Amino acid sequence: MFIENLNKMKEQKIYLLWITAVVFLLSGFSCTDMYDSLREFATEETVYPASFDTITGKIGFERVEIDLSTKGRIPPSKMKLQKAKKTVIECSFFDSPMIIDSVCSWVNITGLTEPEEYTFKVYTEDEYGNRSIPQEISLIPYTSHDLNQMELLSPLITESSSTALIEWNSKLSGVLFDCYAYSYSYKDNDNVTQTGTGTGDLPSFFVENVRKGNTIPVELTLKIRPKKNGISILDTISWPSIINLNISESASDVIFLKTPTASQVIDLNDAKESQTCSFSWTKVENIDSYTLKISTNASFPTDKTLELDLGNISSFNLDVSEIKKIVADGSARCYWTIVPTTAYSTSTQTRALIVYREIPPSGMWLFDDINDLFKAEIGKPLIEVSSGIKITPADGPTPEDKAVFIPELSYLKCQHGISPNPGKTYVNEYTLSMNLKLTSFRWFSIADINSANNNGELFISPYGEISVNGYWNSASANMKLNEWHRVMYSIKLDEFVKIYLDGNLVKTISTNASWVDGMYALRPELLLFKDDNSWNDRNNAYASEIIIWGTSLNNMEAAQLDEIKFR
């Protein structure tokens, strides 16, 4: 039995050796190439193009703009995304993807007319058509549907027998849109199309030569920038509407004022201002002569009103030299109207006119030139007087508006060049304006007017109050530490000393003839930021602007100084 089993085991070994030999022969006697036959079925690992690094969007009128780069809107040549060659945009509203043959930092997608939410998936794509992981955003564009949902605020219509004034009591800009301009057209009684345009969001125009009882369609087109959820869209668009005008049979005669428009500003300081001011109005059939009235009083008192009889015309160019006479005593809110020269039963209007008189400074110093720190824009240069630390350049209220740092015991000598009035020894009417910032409050003399006096004359108190020596605790507002303020003294010594802070009147001191040629009357030299020789009342200060006039500015001029083109 044992010998029989041993023979069987020998036979199995021989069989296994035979199989091994066959496999070895079939493999070509090589182990290193045993997987070569599989290589033709293997593929390399796919590397997909890089994705856009962000996605944000803004809506326009039937379009959107989508930003795709944190580097902003840069040219495709500067978009460095690995393997990316194209931009692909998918949207369920598109019949097929939008493909752009470059890698874009932003895209503008137009033709979005549906008032629906559009979901965009934005990919990069390589040269083999492989796409990146998408960036996704949903946006709802502003469409014609949104525009048609809006209603125009009803206008105020003032009618006469043949003319109507169409205007609005409040601005059209608001929650739904901002309005920038408008145009209108209509056909008059002679079937002639009349047109006009205007800017702003408070349209006002006349419809003239029309007949009572007829309906006149007035086509009004507004230039607006709509808002979606309170945010302005990208585009300014035209919004047309129709106003059906019907003048009632009972309408009476009215003289309407056309130009200047409401509260127009005439700045007599502006070299670019026209030397004439154009006035125009609507004519009334039975009036053959008109009179122009201009006054600082809306009641047009005879002794304070410019009256010009103009004849049978509907416009007139007034020389501005005539207007100068009206505001000789100070800039003012004026009023103008047109009335029949002879008595006639008609209605008319009154309109405001803002007139800034000429206020050329005698001296102006801005400290903007670090190479010539004390030079004068107008007048003579300031003279630095420093017994210790010098006056140095400093940052002003803005990067463009430079300043100086004036340490205590240093001051500026100002030769203002204002001449006294005849019969007077010193200057008794003037205005001094300074842009100042203080980092601490203490008794501080900001002007020594009369060096023979044993103290300065213009002061700031330890509480930030601005005044003259001896008149304290009566200002309606005080300075604040580390803030820029415009400090202004307007002085007419036989009437008042008025003190302004940032354009607001904060104190009025009544004066009389006894103040004339006294301690507050200007000598030929004004010492700024100087106390008397004891230097008890001193401080550090920053100043960015100093201006002096040989007249007293009024409340309007102090409040609107930045608007007046005297510089």
pLDDT tens, residue by residue, 283-293? 888 899 999 99
Q: Where are the beta strands (DSSP E) in 301-415?
A: 305-311, 315-319, 332-340, 347-348, 350-356, 363-365, 383-386, 392-394, 403-406, 410-415
Q: Distance between CA atoms of 469 and 452, rounded to whole angstroms? A: 15
pLDDT digits (tens, 9 = 90+) for 208-221: 989 888 999 999 99
**Residue 260, preceding peptide bond in cis (omega within 30° of 0):** yes
| 383-400 burial: b if 16+ Cβ within 10 Å, else e | eeeeeeeebeeeebbeee
The arithmetic mean of pLDDT across residues 29-45, rounded, is 47
Q: Measured between alpha carbons, how far is 550 from 219 in angstroms, rounded to an integer? A: 54
Please give the class, per CATH, of domain 255-356.
mainly beta
Burial label for 453, CB within 10 Å (0-12, 13-18, 19+), is: middle
Per-residue pLDDT tens for 323-375? Answer: 998 999 999 999 999 999 998 888 888 999 999 999 999 999 999 999 999 99
When the pLDDT of each residue in the chain is averaged and rounded to a whole number, the result is: 91
The yes-or-no verdict on residue 164 having pLDDT over 50 is: yes
* Residue 143 pLDDT exceeds 50: yes
Question: Is pTM beyond 0.85 here?
Answer: no
Q: What are the distances in angstroms from CA 189 to CA 163, 205, 212, 474, 550?
A: 11, 17, 10, 65, 57
Tell me the pLDDT band of 1, cut-offs 50, 70 and 90: very low
Average pLDDT over residues 184-202: 95
Amino acid letter at 511? Answer: T
* pLDDT value of position 476: 97
Structurally, at CATH architecture level, domain 56-142 sits in: Sandwich (2.60)
Expressed in angstroms, the distance from the first to the final Cα of the chain is 132
- In this predicted structure, which of 40-44, 139-143, 313-317, 463-467 has the lowest mean pLDDT? 40-44
User: Is domain 150-252 annotated with CATH 1.10.3470?
Assistant: no
404's CB contacts (< 8 A; 6+ apart) are 367, 373, 391, 392, 393, 394, 542, 543, 544
Residue 515: strand, helix, or coil: helix
144 to 63, 114, 231: CA distances (angstroms):
11, 9, 17
Q: What is the pLDDT of residue 286?
A: 85
Q: Do domains 150-252 and 363-563 have the same CATH topology?
A: no
What are the pLDDT digits (tens) for 476-504?
Answer: 999 999 999 999 999 999 999 999 999 99
Mean pLDDT within 138-149: 96
Mean pLDDT of 315-330: 92
What is the share, in percent, of the chain residues with pLDDT greater than 70? 92
Residues ≥6 apart with Cβ < 8 Å to 367: 373, 374, 393, 396, 402, 403, 404, 543, 544, 545
Whole-number pLDDT of residue 261: 78
Q: What is the structure's pLDDT at 263?
A: 72
Confidence of residue 460 (pLDDT cuts 50, 70, 90): very high
Q: How confident is the model at residue 275 (pLDDT cuts 50, 70, 90)?
A: confident
Q: What confidence score (pLDDT) does residue 32 get?
A: 42
Instruction: Please say whether the beta carbons of 162 and 209 come within 8 A.
Output: yes
pLDDT tens digits, one per residue of 508-567: 999 999 999 999 999 999 999 999 888 888 999 999 999 999 999 999 999 999 999 998
Q: From CA 425, how far away is CA 518, in angstroms rounded?
A: 10
What are the φ/ψ torsions at residue 4 (nearest 5 degrees)? -65, -45
Q: Which residues contact 395 (CB under 8 A, 6 or more apart)?
A: 402, 403
| Res 321: pLDDT | 86
Averaged pLDDT, 52-75: 97
- pLDDT level of residue 453 (50, 70, 90 thresholds): confident
| CATH 2.60.120.200 corresponds to the domain 363-563 | yes
Q: What is the mean pLDDT of residues 164-176?
A: 92
Percent of the chain's residues with pLDDT above 90: 80
Place of tokens 């039963």: 345
**Average pLDDT, stretch 196-203?**
93
- The DSSP code for 439 is S
Q: What angle do CA 113, 119, 120 make, to 5 degrees?
A: 100
Average pLDDT of 124-153?
A: 96
pLDDT at 7 over 50: no
Distance, CA of 166 to chain centre: 28
Q: Where are the domains of the chain?
A: 56-142, 150-252, 255-356, 363-563
Give per-residue pLDDT as tens, 421-434: 999 999 999 999 99
Kindly state the tokens that stand for 382. Answer: 């300031």
